């Protein structure tokens, strides 16, 4: 694989301008006191003056401020105040209409009121009596996962959640991720050991009907030889199921009772052969932009990766930006927020997603805390970052940034003698070298 330098290919501009011939008459006989001759004598000075001003004009044009996103701290809720021995935050979901956050921590589902961004407060909690892992919400229903089962909870009154039912999966599997669509709960599951069932034909997906939330019913499972389900994302009638150390498969869920892999058994979004490091998928999202459908991948080892999944029969990796320890991402209408475990968040424009144009960056806290997930509600300019010790809230700020600076100006010229009395300066040029201020902050693109 040829590694393309981010510095050389994207943010280094060397502009050379060729200007007019400059004449310098050396013969005194030709230097008559006439307006025409005086102008000819001043021509080299005028040309040089124009060259410098044109050069600086171009540099000024490139330094026009552009949008630049950052954050300021709002409030936070610390789950270490929780009395349980394992109070580490695991998953969360946000109800933006009611301004309620749902956080799994220890054995509880914590329900937080964030109407005051600067001081989110505990509204209520639900004790699941086993370590909680993740949560998904849909209307008045929350689905909370543990390793071997899920709980369906009525959250019509967030101040008083009511447990409605539980559903257990096969004892040799662990629930890894959850989502809800049209009263169907989709569970990504991973086998606890190699080949818990005959033929290594592992289950990777459960579909559970919760039309009656008091009596959840398994309506289908999907199996695939030798693979697992670790993370899922639903877009339309396609479920994108990722195995963290392999890649992503595309699953048709137009009929939830009979989910099927696209392009047969071996349909695989094969990131392995295209990335410089071994695949470690943490989170995916999908978005259609300008007639193409892209998958956006947060990869722990490889960084921020984009693939083209327009053709479900042949998904293709496109490109990415190498960043270590990327744990999550979230897409808004025009931005991609890429989260690293340190909490550093990089903001990329989605206007032309494969250009990887960075339009923001923020480091909200130090490396002593571990970031896990991110959600951005752009309408209210609010950023939510799930950390190992709870949920932190930030105000998203849109500012401006002069992102280029002038590094070097150089001149060059050649004098040519014509006859005994005439010298011609040709050509005269100015070279302007401009660099991007963020260039050195990131390593490279692959």
Q: What CA–CA distance (Å, rounded) separates 96 from 375? A: 11
The backbone torsions φ and ψ at residue 191, rounded to the nearest 5 degrees and listed phi first, read -65, 140
> Residue 330 is inside which H or E element, if any?
strand 326-331
Nearest alpha-carbon partner for 101 in 84, 116, 88, 85: 116
CATH number of 70-401: 2.130.10.10
CA pseudo-torsion sign 8, 10, 12, 17: positive
Nearest alpha-carbon partner for 348 in 364, 332, 363: 332
- Here the tokens at position 112 are 């937080």
At residue 48's C-alpha, the angle toward residues 43 and 49, to 5°, is 100
For residue 194, what pLDDT is reported? 64
Q: What is the location of CATH 2.130.10.10 in the chain?
A: 70-401
Q: What CA–CA distance (Å, rounded) separates 367 from 340? A: 10
Length of the chain measured in residues: 446
Torsion of CA 135, 103, 95, 283, to 10 degrees: -60
Q: What CA–CA distance (Å, rounded) separates 176 from 189? A: 5
Q: Which residues pair with 362 in a beta bridge?
A: 345
For residue 25, what pLDDT is reported? 41
Of the CA atoms within 13 Å of residue 189, those in its CB half-sphere come to: 33
> Residue 155 is inside which H or E element, if any?
none
pLDDT, one tens digit for every residue, the chain (446 residues): 233 333 333 333 443 333 333 344 444 444 444 556 656 665 665 665 555 555 444 444 444 445 789 999 999 999 876 544 446 788 999 999 999 999 999 899 999 999 999 999 999 999 998 889 999 999 999 999 999 999 999 999 999 999 999 999 988 899 999 999 999 999 999 988 766 565 557 888 999 999 999 999 999 999 887 677 889 999 999 999 988 777 788 899 999 999 998 864 333 444 444 555 667 889 999 999 999 999 999 998 889 999 888 988 878 888 888 888 999 999 999 999 999 999 999 999 999 999 999 999 998 765 567 899 999 999 999 999 999 889 999 999 987 665 554 445 555 544 444 444 444 454 544 555 555 444 333 333 44
Nearest alpha-carbon partner for 126 in 167, 170, 159: 159
For residue 266, what pLDDT is reported? 34
For residue 275, what pLDDT is reported? 57
Q: How far is CA 281 from CA 261, 305, 339, 353, 400, in A?
A: 19, 10, 13, 19, 33
For residue 136, what pLDDT is reported? 98
CA pseudo-torsion sign 157, 163, 164, 166: positive
For residue 244, what pLDDT is reported? 75
Nearest alpha-carbon partner for 322 in 300, 349, 355, 354: 300
For residue 438, what pLDDT is reported? 44
Given a contact cutoff of 8 angstroms between Cβ atoms, the answer to whether 140 and 129 are in contact is no
Q: Does a cis peptide bond (omega within 30 degrees of 0) precede residue 427?
A: yes
Query: The whole model's pTM is what?
Result: 0.76
Determine the 3-state secondary structure of 158 from DSSP.
coil
For residue 214, what pLDDT is reported? 98
């Amino acid at each position: 694989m040829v590694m393309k330098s981010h510095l050389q290919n994207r943010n280094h501009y060397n502009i050379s301008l060729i200007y007019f011939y400059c004449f310098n008459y050396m013969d005194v006989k030709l230097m008559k006191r006439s307006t025409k001759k005086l102008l000819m004598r001043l021509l080299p000075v005028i040309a040089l003056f124009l060259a410098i001003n044109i050069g600086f004009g171009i540099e000024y044009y490139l330094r026009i401020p552009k949008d630049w996103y950052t954050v300021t701290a709002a409030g936070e809720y610390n789950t270490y105040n929780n009395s349980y021995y394992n109070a580490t935050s695991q998953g969360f979901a946000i109800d933006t209409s009611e301004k309620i956050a749902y956080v799994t921590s220890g054995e509880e589902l914590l329900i937080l009121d964030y109407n005051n961004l600067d001081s989110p407060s505990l509204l209520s909690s639900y004790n699941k009596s086993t370590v909680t892992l993740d949560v998904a919400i849909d209307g008045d229903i929350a689905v909370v996962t543990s390793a071997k089962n899920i709980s369906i909870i009525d959250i019509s009154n967030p101040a008083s959640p009511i447990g409605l039912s539980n559903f257990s999966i096969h004892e040799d599997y662990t629930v890894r991720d959850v989502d809800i669509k049209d009263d169907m709960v989709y569970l990504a599951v991973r086998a606890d050991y190699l080949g818990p069932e005959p033929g290594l034909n592992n289950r990777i997906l459960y579909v559970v009907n919760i039309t009656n939330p008091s009596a959840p019913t398994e309506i289908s499972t999907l199996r695939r030889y030798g693979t697992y389900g670790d993370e899922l994302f639903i877009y339309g009638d396609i479920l994108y199921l990722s195995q963290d150390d392999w890649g992503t498969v595309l699953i048709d869920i137009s009929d939830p009772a009979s989910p099927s892999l696209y392009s047969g058994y071996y349909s695989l979004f094969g990131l392995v052969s295209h990335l410089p490091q071994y695949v470690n998928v943490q989170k995916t999202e999908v978005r259609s932009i300008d007639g193409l459908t892209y998958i956006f991948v947060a990869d722990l080892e490889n960084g921020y990766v984009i693939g083209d999944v327009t053709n479900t029969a042949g998904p293709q990796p496109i490109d990415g930006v190498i960043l270590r320890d990327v744990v999550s991402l979230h897409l808004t209408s025009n931005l991609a927020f890429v989260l690293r475990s340190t909490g550093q968040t990089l903001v990329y424009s989605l206007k032309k997603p494969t250009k990887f144009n960075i339009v923001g960056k923020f480091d909200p806290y130090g490396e002593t805390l571990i970031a896990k997930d991110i959600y951005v509600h752009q309408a209210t300019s609010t950023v939510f970052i799930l950390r190992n010790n709870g949920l932190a809230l930030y105000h998203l700020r849109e500012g401006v940034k002069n992102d280029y600076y002038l590094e070097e100006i150089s001149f060059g010229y050649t004098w040519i003698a014509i006859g005994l009395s005439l010298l011609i300066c040709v050509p005269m040029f100015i070279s302007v070298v401009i660099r991007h201020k963020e260039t050195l902050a990131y390593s490279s693109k692959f």
